[in-house]
């Protein structure tokens, strides 16, 4: 079956072509490199994993409630449109909302795959090329994972969101080598990390929890990669050059905030746009979600040196200025620990099951004799 047969809305195109700009850069210095970037590269090599083996795809998922979250977390909960729906219609709306959200994760991961390949091609430093090469493999694995989850467990896809498409277009069509870092590693990846983390911590369903935890273990390194590379480079730029990048950050952050509404789902269910817009703006769950989304972006933007008045004013307008004080290093270590704890718990459960089977076999053998 073609993926296009599973789209809830028609995808505009089978292949999206973004004109490539900028130069491919070679570097003949093979012996030098920044210690932290090379350490990140070593970790990137060491932490490769196979989605077909590490994830337990046999775990059950209810396609009606793939994340098992209560109805109260839905943005339209309690609205006139919601109250008019039957339980079956509400369940289907929830399924579509999850399909929309994970479809944007999937499309974002393919965007990250393209951007990291572009970074490996265009970044001037060899240590950064080395790490970007490991990220290309990471992003391919993530796209594979989300595509499989949507196809096998949800049975539904949504096309790429217009705001995500616009930011990817802006990022990939810019000829400056640092823009894939800024657009993807900092903005898109940073927001995705926070979204993954909130769902990872909320869902009681084991399969999506595994997927989100394992993907986050990789993504935490990717954001760290963007911070290290851009912090060094932006120290060398003029005020005018920094101002251009701050304009890009402000525009990108508003795009990322606005993409959270899920308007394509409203369109599919013919829900009044004004009612849905008001509901998503006032949803206590979504307000907390929106704020948390910038817990990774704001401190990274500040750390790389793009912390001028326009950026601060935009973050204050969005109510996320205080997120700049978040310790990203601590969050990254937590992401890695959670994934490793899941692995340990699964190994322990497997060992316990094997021991129980061994005891049962011995008891049966004794009974037979």
Mean pLDDT score, 150-158: 95
Q: How confident is the model at residue 227 (pLDDT cuts 50, 70, 90)?
A: confident
Is residue 50 over pLDDT 80? Answer: yes
Is residue 116 over pLDDT 90? Answer: yes
Q: What integer pLDDT is reported at residue 360 of this predicted model?
A: 66
Mean pLDDT score, 152-166: 93
Q: How confident is the model at residue 256 (pLDDT cuts 50, 70, 90)?
A: confident
Q: What integer pLDDT is reported at residue 226 of this predicted model?
A: 83
User: CA separation (Å) from 305 to 241, 245, 311?
Assistant: 12, 10, 11
Residues 6+ apart with CB under 8 A from 145: 51, 55, 211, 214, 215
**Domains of the chain and CATH, by start:** 3-19+34-368 (1.10.620.20)
Return the ∠ at Cα 169 (arms to 13 and 252), rounded to 5°: 130
Digit-coded pLDDT (tens) for 231-253: 989 999 999 999 999 999 999 99
Rounded CA separation 166/168 (Å) = 5
Q: How confident is the model at residue 112 (pLDDT cuts 50, 70, 90)?
A: very high
Say if pTM beats, i.e. exceeds, 0.85: yes
Alpha-helical runs (H) found in the chain: 35-46, 51-54, 80-84, 87-122, 126-149, 162-173, 179-180, 189-202, 206-234, 239-258, 263-269, 273-282, 284-293, 297-304, 309-317, 328-368
Mean pLDDT score, 166-186: 90
Q: What integer pLDDT is reported at residue 225 of this predicted model?
A: 86
Q: What integer pLDDT is reported at residue 282 of this predicted model?
A: 84
Is residue 118 over pLDDT 90? Answer: yes
**Which residue has better confidence, 258 or 37?**
37
Is residue 88 over pLDDT 90? Answer: yes
Q: What integer pLDDT is reported at residue 221 of this predicted model?
A: 86
What is the C-alpha radius of gyration for the chain, rounded to an integer number of angstroms? 22
Alpha-helical runs (H) found in 174-272: 179-180, 189-202, 206-234, 239-258, 263-269
User: Longest Cα pair distance anywhere in the chain, in angstroms?
Assistant: 87
Mean pLDDT score, 248-266: 86
Is residue 86 over pLDDT 80? Answer: yes
Residues 6+ apart with CB under 8 A from 199: 67, 208, 212
Q: How confident is the model at residue 362 (pLDDT cuts 50, 70, 90)?
A: low
Q: Are 326 and 296 in contact (CB under 8 A)?
A: yes
Rounded CA separation 215/37 (Å) = 20
Nearest-CA neighbor of 104 among 173, 167, 192, 171? 192
Q: For the chain, what is the mean pLDDT?
A: 89
Q: What integer pLDDT is reported at residue 241 of this predicted model?
A: 96
Is residue 223 over pLDDT 90? Answer: no
Nearest-CA neighbor of 283 among 64, 65, 82, 68? 82
Rounded CA separation 324/302 (Å) = 7
Q: What integer pLDDT is reported at residue 363 of this predicted model?
A: 66
| Residue 3 burial (CB count, 10 A) | 12
Q: What integer pLDDT is reported at residue 30 of this predicted model?
A: 84
Digit-coded pLDDT (tens) for 344-361: 999 877 776 677 676 666
Cα end-to-end span (Å), the chain: 54
User: CA separation (Å) from 263 to 77, 97, 100, 284, 358?
Assistant: 15, 10, 10, 18, 54
Residues 6+ apart with CB under 8 A from 257: 290, 293, 318
Is residue 332 over pLDDT 90? Answer: no
Is residue 20 over pLDDT 80? Answer: no
**Which residue has better confidence, 19 or 334?**
334
Mean pLDDT score, 142-166: 95
Q: How confident is the model at residue 310 (pLDDT cuts 50, 70, 90)?
A: very high
Cα 33 off chain centre by: 29
| Residue 155 burial (CB count, 10 A) | 12
Is residue 365 over pLDDT 70? Answer: no
Mean pLDDT score, 51-61: 96
Q: How confident is the model at residue 195 (pLDDT cuts 50, 70, 90)?
A: confident
Structure tokens, 31: 């012996």
Q: How confident is the model at residue 111 (pLDDT cuts 50, 70, 90)?
A: very high
User: CA separation (Å) from 112 to 186, 190, 203, 253?
Assistant: 11, 12, 25, 17
């Amino acid at each position: 079956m073609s993926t296009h047969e599973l789209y809830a809305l028609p995808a505009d195109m089978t292949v999206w072509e973004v004109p490539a700009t900028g130069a491919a850069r070679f570097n003949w210095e093979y012996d030098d490199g920044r210690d932290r970037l090379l350490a990140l590269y070593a970790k990137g090599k060491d932490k490769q994993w196979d989605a077909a083996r590490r994830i337990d795809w046999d775990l059950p998922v209810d396609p009606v409630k793939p994340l098992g979250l209560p109805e109260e977390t839905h943005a339209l909960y309690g609205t006139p449109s919601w109250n008019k729906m039957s339980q079956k219609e509400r369940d289907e709306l929830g399924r579509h909302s999850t399909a929309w959200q994970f479809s944007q994760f999937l499309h974002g991961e393919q965007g990250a795959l393209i951007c990291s390949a572009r970074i490996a091609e265009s970044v001037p430093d060899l240590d950064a090329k080395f790490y970007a090469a490991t990220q290309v493999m990471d992003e391919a694995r993530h796209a594979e994972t989300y595509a499989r989850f949507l196809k096998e467990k949800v049975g539904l896809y949504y096309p790429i969101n217009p705001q995500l498409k616009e930011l990817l277009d802006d990022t990939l069509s810019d000829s400056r080598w640092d823009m894939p870092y800024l657009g993807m590693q900092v903005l898109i990846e940073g927001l995705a990390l926070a979204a993954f983390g909130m769902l990872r911590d909320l869902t009681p369903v084991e399969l999506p929890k595994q997927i989100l935890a394992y993907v986050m273990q990789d993504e935490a390194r990717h954001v760290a990669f963007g911070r290290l590379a851009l912090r060094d480079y932006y120290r060398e730029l003029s005020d005018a050059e920094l101002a251009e990048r701050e304009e890009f950050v402000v525009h990108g952050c508003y795009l990322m905030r606005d993409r959270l509404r899920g308007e394509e789902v409203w369109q599919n269910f013919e829900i009044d746009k004004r009612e849905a817009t008001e509901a998503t703006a006032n949803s206590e769950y979504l307000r907390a979600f929106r704020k948390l989304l910038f817990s990774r972006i704001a401190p990274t933007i500040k750390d790389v040196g793009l912390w001028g008045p326009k950026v601060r004013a935009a973050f204050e307008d969005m109510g996320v200025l205080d997120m700049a004080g978040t310790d990203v290093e601590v969050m990254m270590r937590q992401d890695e620990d959670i994934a490793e704890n899941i692995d340990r718990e699964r190994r322990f459960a497997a060992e316990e099951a094997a021991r129980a089977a061994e005891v049962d076999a011995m008891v049966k053998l004794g009974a037979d004799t």
